[in-house]
C-alpha cells in the first residue's frame, strides 16, 4: 500500500512539474504563491509556523504574525513554482539576480580551492548553485533524500550543469564531503534545520540542535566558510550576496572552536531572518519543544 501511495504521489508531482514548466516563469511563480497562500493556512504545518513565530517574536501582535505567515506561504509557493524553471532562471540571471560578491566567485573559478558556502532556507535557496555554475563554480550541495524514493530523480533534475553534484545526508556524507573538499571543490550547505546529531547553539534565544559538520571540515582543512544570503526582490527576482568569510576561532579547544564557528554562522542566519521573516521556512520544527 505504501509503495502504491509513493508511486501515485510521484506521478502527481511529476505531472504538476510538467504543467508548470509549460508556463512562463513569472506566471508559474505567481501561481505557486497564490495557491499556497490559500491552501497553506489549512495545513497542520501552519500551526507549527504560528507557534514558532510567536515564540521567536513575542513582541509582534497577531496581525503582524498573520502577515508574516501569509508572506511565508507566498514565498514557499513561489519557490515551488520556480522549481521547474531553474534553467530559465540561469539563462535570465542577468535580469533576475542582483549579485553582490561576484569578485569572490570569479576568483574561485579561476583558482579552485576548498570552500564551504553556507546559507538557509530563505527566499529561493536554489539560486546560489544556479548562479555559481554560470560563473564556473560548480557546487556540491548537501541535501536530504526525499522519503518517497520515486521522487529522488526530481532532485537531480534541478542540477543545471553536469559538474554540479548532490551529496545525500547519511553515514557516508562525511567521507564524501572530505573527498570533495580535498579535491579543491566547493561545497554548499543549508545549516538552518534541526539535526539530532548536531550541537546545541543559540537560535532566537533558545538552544537548537544545529549541523556542525561545516565547522568541523573548515577547521580540519583550513578552508573558508562563506555566508551566502538570498533575498527575494519581488516576484521571481532575487539578490544573492556572497559575504566575507567568517573568522575561524582558535582557542586551542577543538570542540569549543566548532561550537563558536557554528554559533557565528547561526547568529548571522538569525539576523537575516529577523530582517525578512516572511522569507524563512517557519513550518520546520526547529526547536525541541515547539
| Predicted local confidence at residue 142, as pLDDT | 84
Closest by CA position to 245, among listed 109, 130, 125, 114: 114
Q: Among 84, 69, 76, which residue's Cα sits nearest to residue 34?
A: 76
Closest CA to 190 of 288, 101, 124: 124
The domain spans of the chain are: 2-279
Q: How many helices (DSSP H) and strands (DSSP E) are in the chain?
A: 12, 9
Structural class in CATH, domain 2-279: alpha beta
User: How many angstroms separate the Cα of 101 from the Cα of each of 40, 48, 116, 226?
Assistant: 35, 35, 15, 11
pTM of the model: 0.93
Confidence of residue 56 (pLDDT cuts 50, 70, 90): very high
Characterise 123 by phi-psi region: left (phi > 0), alpha (psi -120 to 50), beta (else). Answer: left
Beta bridge partner(s), residue 99 = 240
Tens digits of residue pLDDT in 81-121? 999 999 999 999 999 999 999 999 999 999 999 999 999 99
pLDDT value at 154 more than 60: yes
At 186-205, the pLDDT tens digits run 999 999 998 888 899 999 99
Amino acid at each position: 500500500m505504501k509503495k502504491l501511495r509513493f508511486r501515485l504521489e510521484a506521478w502527481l508531482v511529476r505531472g504538476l512539474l510538467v504543467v508548470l514548466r509549460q508556463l512562463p516563469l513569472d506566471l508559474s511563480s505567481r501561481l505557486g504563491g497564490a495557491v499556497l497562500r490559500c491552501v497553506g493556512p489549512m495545513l497542520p504545518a501552519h500551526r507549527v509556523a504560528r507557534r514558532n513565530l510567536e515564540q521567536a517574536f513575542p513582541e509582534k501582535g497577531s496581525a503582524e504574525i498573520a502577515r508574516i505567515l501569509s508572506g511565508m506561504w507566498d514565498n514557499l509557493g513561489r519557490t515551488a513554482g520556480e522549481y521547474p524553471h531553474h534553467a530559465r532562471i540561469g539563462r535570465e540571471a542577468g535580469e533576475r539576480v542582483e549579485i553582490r560578491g561576484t569578485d569572490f566567485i570569479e576568483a574561485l573559478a579561476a583558482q579552485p580551492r576548498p570552500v564551504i558556502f553556507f546559507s538557509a532556507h530563505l527566499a529561493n535557496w536554489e539560486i546560489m548553485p544556479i548562479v555559481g555554475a554560470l560563473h564556473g563554480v560548480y557546487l556540491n550541495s548537501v541535501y536530504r533524500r526525499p522519503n518517497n524514493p520515486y521522487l529522488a530523480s526530481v532532485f537531480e533534475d534541478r542540477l543545471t550543469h553536469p559538474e554540479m553534484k548532490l551529496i545525500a545526508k547519511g553515514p557516508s556524507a562525511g567521507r564524501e564531503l572530505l573527498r570533495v573538499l580535498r579535491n579543491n571543490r566547493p561545497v554548499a550547505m543549508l545549516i538552518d534545520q534541526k539535526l539530532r546529531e548536531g550541537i546545541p547553539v543559540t537560535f532566537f534565544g533558545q538552544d537548537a540542535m544545529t549541523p556542525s559538520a561545516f565547522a568541523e571540515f573548515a577547521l580540519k582543512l583550513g578552508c573558508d566558510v562563506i555566508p551566502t544570503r538570498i533575498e527575494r526582490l519581488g516576484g521571481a527576482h532575487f539578490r544573492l550576496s556572497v559575504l566575507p568569510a567568517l573568522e575561524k576561532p582558535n582557542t586551542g579547544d577543538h570542540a569549543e572552536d566548532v561550537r563558536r564557528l557554528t554559533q557565528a554562522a547561526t547568529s548571522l542566519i538569525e539576523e537575516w531572518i529577523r530582517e525578512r521573516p516572511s522569507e524563512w521556512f517557519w513550518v520546520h520544527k526547529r526547536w525541541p519543544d515547539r
